Homo-oligomer: A and B are copies of this chain.
Amino acid sequence: MKTNRMPTPGLSLGCDYNPEQWSPDVWREDAALMREAGVDLVAVNIFGWSNLEPAPGQYHFDDLDEVVELMHANGIRVNLGTGTSSPPPWLTTLHPEVLPAAADGTLRYPGGRQAWCPSSAVFRDRAYALVRQVAERYGDHPAVALWHVSNELGCHNALCYCEESAEAFRSWLRRRYGKIETLNEAWGTSFWSQRYGDWAEVNPPRLALSLRNPAQIVDFHRFSSDELLDYYRGEAEILRGHSTVPVTTNFMVTAHIRNLDYWSWAPEMDLIANDHYLDHRLGDPVAELSFAADLTRGLAQGRPWMLMEQAAGAVNWQPHNVTKAPGELIRNTLTHVARGADSICFFQWRASAQGAEKFHSALLPHAGTDTVAWREVLKLSATLDRIEEVAGTTVESDVALLFSWESWWSAEGEARPSQAVEYLDQVHAAHRALRELGVTVDVVSPEADLSGYRLVVVPCLYMVGDLAAVRIADYVQGGGHLLVTFFSGIVDERDRIRLGGYPGAFRDVLGVTAEEFVPLKPGDLLNMTNGGTGSLWSERLRTTTASPVVSYVDGPLPGTAALTRNEFGGGVAWYLATSPDPRSMREIMRNVTVNADISRTGPESNGSVEAVRRSGENGSYLFVINHGTEAVEYPVTGFDLVTGEPVESLLRVEGGGVSVVREERA
């Protein structure tokens, strides 16, 4: 991150605003209602291209000028989109080569959004031309508080298999490997007669009749992430030439999108912004929200960040679009704030009447302001006002969890020991157990500096480089505590097996060696000596220097260790070789955290309560969010900013309630 400047002081409340969809008299009504709702930051021009440039080179800024002035006149700051997210129809009509290609070579057509190839030179020329116009016109406008490059980059079009992408992939590979023989070694092309004699023979991993080269697939993911980052860089450079306002784009740290490696993106953002929507296809959507917020804070290196989009109610793209119950919006939002968000924005201001998102909720619903939904927005706004003093404070933790997009890509290869093992499930399981114990977690890169942590958790880190492996071992050597879960440390960055027994990168620090993976069929359970069950996975595991802690009592490997503990240098390293039931997972994590002397921020629960502390120069704030129906009590003394009441030694939070306590220093 370059600067981390928030667009407004305090906790901003914002939203996407698409005035193109409404008439100017509605704009004025909107401005008045925004003031009523306390909205102080609006994102405009996100999908502006076809309006700003209705024909090639003909720019029309009158409407956008008027909207920006209207916001300014109402004291609302502008998060100004560059408008390049989706090309206008004339562009793909004139230049069909802009269209992205699927893995089978068929094109993907206009009619939705992001119908462009990330490597398209024509697209870049035209998009940058628009950005130049926008930047010149609004670069020093006093209303503009933030630049919003494109929108949700890579949400749909990250992986393009067209010939222009192929050529760009070749250039990227040439830069990465230098010599074709180095690529051959990295990709293991001796296998299945794939040895390349020339760069021109290399292609994206297009649809094949059989299993494709997994190293090629991982590199194509890396390339695709870099290619869009390169595109971002082009826009950002233009903007910075005309403006001193921070530049960013909205990430999608969420369960179902995984194509960009945000660890490489984050350093180029002036601040970190994320879009997050509850995903009701998951077993525990709220736990995923907490994880995503912690990961976003990790991308922001612990500093405050923006929630650039969330939904006031239901979304429209899930199979069954569950709406929010009264109170849920405040709980969800304060979960983000507790975990570091200093800006809370929504998609979108006014529910669309037309288009593919007309059933997506908004701050102002189709039914207008005489609605429960609108009153919930006003309540949220008032709550944010009351807790505004938390802005700028940060979250501290003794525990780091290592997260890796590269492992996500590579651990879910086409042919692997078990397709039931999914990376994010394993990461979520570890995070959820810590959250249930009331422990706050930093989610960091595998190559992060670990020296400040008492415990490092490494779930399913399938791909790990030498540097990270050494750093993790050194961390334990120096007294740190480590928990590694199965299918970690299996391959290096080339997706090459670390030979000699699994987990190759961590055998020494863990004091174990696994001869063989013994995955289970879905539904099969292993009973364990701790009274719990394991599923999905086991290993023919031998301890070398470690001690078994929990073992299987049945199944294919009775007596074999499921959990081991190894003293290594000044530290302790645990290895978990199965996927325990959630209760066992929590017990295992309890042992590990107690052993590492980790302090808890809040009460233990089944995940229904979460407590996070934000601290700053002027004191600390304990957020307690009760997602459950029963009241909870927790010892704390201070002043509850939400209720405006003092808290004498014991805080009580009703079912569904939230508290933000400015703690008294003892």
Task: Name A's B-contacting residues (CB within 8 A).
Answer: 18, 20-21, 47-51, 54-55, 83, 85-90, 93, 100, 102, 104-115, 155-157, 187-198, 200-203, 205-216, 280, 313-314, 316-317, 319-323, 325, 351-361, 365-368, 371-373, 414-420, 494-497, 499-502, 513-522, 540, 556
Q: Is the CB of A356 within 8 A of B106?
A: no
Residue from B193, B207, B521 within 8 A of A87 (CB atoms): B193
Q: Is the CB of A367 within 8 A of B113?
A: no
**Residue contacts A-B, CB under 8 angstroms, 6 given:** A88-B197, A89-B196, A105-B106, A109-B203, A188-B352, A359-B416
Report how many copies the assembly holds. Answer: 3
- A86 nearest CB across to chain B (Å): 4
- A472 nearest CB across to chain B (Å): 21
Q: Is the CB of A55 within 8 A of B193?
A: no
Residue from B48, B189, B194, B216 within 8 A of A193 (CB atoms): B48
Given contacts A106-B104, A201-B93, A210-B114, contact A354 B215 (CB under 8 A): yes
- A566 nearest CB across to chain B (Å): 18
Given contacts A89-B202, A115-B209, A156-B210, contact A191 B356 (CB under 8 A): yes
**How distant is the Cα of A410 from the Cα of B269 in the complex, in angstroms?**
41
Residues of B within 8 A of A18 (CB): 190-191
Given contacts A188-B355, A515-B367, contact A207 B108 (CB under 8 A): yes
**How distant is the Cα of A100 from the Cα of B351 in the complex, in angstroms?**
38
Task: Tell which of A114, A192, A194, A360 has the most Cβ of chain B within 10 Å.
Answer: A192
Given contacts A108-B208, A314-B517, A494-B354, contact A197 B90 (CB under 8 A): yes
Residues of B within 8 A of A155 (CB): 210
Residue from B47, B356, B514 within 8 A of A211 (CB atoms): B356
Given contacts A316-B417, A373-B516, A420-B320, contact A195 B357 (CB under 8 A): no
Residue from B55, B191, B500 within 8 A of A357 (CB atoms): B191
Residues of B within 8 A of A540 (CB): 371-372
Q: Is the CB of B21 within 8 A of A191?
A: yes
Residue from B48, B112, B206, B214 within 8 A of A355 (CB atoms): B214
Q: Is the CB of B208 within 8 A of A109?
A: yes
Residues of B within 8 A of A47 (CB): 191-193
Task: Tell which of A516, A520, A521 has the most Cβ of chain B within 10 Å.
Answer: A516
Residues of B within 8 A of A104 (CB): 102, 106-107
- A507 nearest CB across to chain B (Å): 10
Additional 14 contacts, C-beta under 8 A, given A89-B201, A112-B192, A188-B358: A21-B190, A47-B191, A51-B193, A88-B197, A89-B202, A110-B194, A113-B193, A157-B209, A211-B357, A214-B355, A313-B516, A320-B520, A353-B496, A359-B415
Residue from B88, B107, B323 within 8 A of A195 (CB atoms): B88
- A295 nearest CB across to chain B (Å): 24
Q: Is the CB of A209 within 8 A of B156?
A: yes
Residues of B within 8 A of A522 (CB): 320
**How distant is the Cα of A223 from the Cα of B109 in the complex, in angstroms?**
19
**How distant is the Cα of A375 from the Cα of B202 in the complex, in angstroms?**
41
Q: Is the CB of B113 within 8 A of A195?
A: no
Q: Is the CB of A317 within 8 A of B415?
A: yes
A325 nearest in chain B by CB position: B556
7 closest A-B pairs by beta carbon, nearest first, are A188-B354, A191-B355, A112-B210, A109-B206, A112-B208, A211-B356, A156-B209
Q: Is the CB of A354 within 8 A of B516?
A: no
Q: Is the CB of A203 within 8 A of B314?
A: no
Q: Is the CB of B208 within 8 A of A111?
A: yes
A198 nearest in chain B by CB position: B90
Q: Is the CB of B111 within 8 A of A197?
A: no
Residues of B within 8 A of A192 (CB): 47, 85-86, 112-113, 355-356
Residues of B within 8 A of A109 (CB): 105, 203, 206-208
Q: Is the CB of B211 within 8 A of A112?
A: yes
Residues of B within 8 A of A351 (CB): 497
Given contacts A48-B193, A500-B368, contact A356 B212 (CB under 8 A): yes
Q: Is the CB of A208 within 8 A of B115?
A: yes
Residues of B within 8 A of A361 (CB): 516
A518 nearest in chain B by CB position: B323
- A503 nearest CB across to chain B (Å): 11
Q: Is the CB of B206 within 8 A of A111?
A: yes
Q: Is the CB of A195 within 8 A of B354?
A: no
Q: Is the CB of B417 within 8 A of A321?
A: yes
- A256 nearest CB across to chain B (Å): 13
Residues of B within 8 A of A214 (CB): 355-356, 358
Given contacts A89-B195, A112-B211, A190-B51, contact A420 B319 (CB under 8 A): yes
**How distant is the Cα of A213 from the Cα of B518 in the complex, in angstroms?**
46
Q: Is the CB of B366 within 8 A of A502?
A: yes
**How distant is the Cα of A183 from the Cα of B207 in the complex, in angstroms?**
35
**How distant is the Cα of A321 from the Cα of B416 in the complex, in angstroms?**
8
Residues of B within 8 A of A50 (CB): 189-190, 193-195
Residue from B193, B321, B365, B414 within 8 A of A519 (CB atoms): B321
A22 nearest in chain B by CB position: B190
- A32 nearest CB across to chain B (Å): 18
- A400 nearest CB across to chain B (Å): 29
Task: Tell which of A108, A366, A494 has the most Cβ of chain B within 10 Å.
Answer: A366
Task: Tell which of A193, A321, A358, A416 has the most Cβ of chain B within 10 Å.
Answer: A193
- A616 nearest CB across to chain B (Å): 38
**How distant is the Cα of A213 from the Cα of B112 in the complex, in angstroms?**
6
Q: Is the CB of B513 within 8 A of A319?
A: no
**How distant is the Cα of A212 from the Cα of B111 in the complex, in angstroms?**
5
- A169 nearest CB across to chain B (Å): 12
Residues of B within 8 A of A88 (CB): 193-195, 197
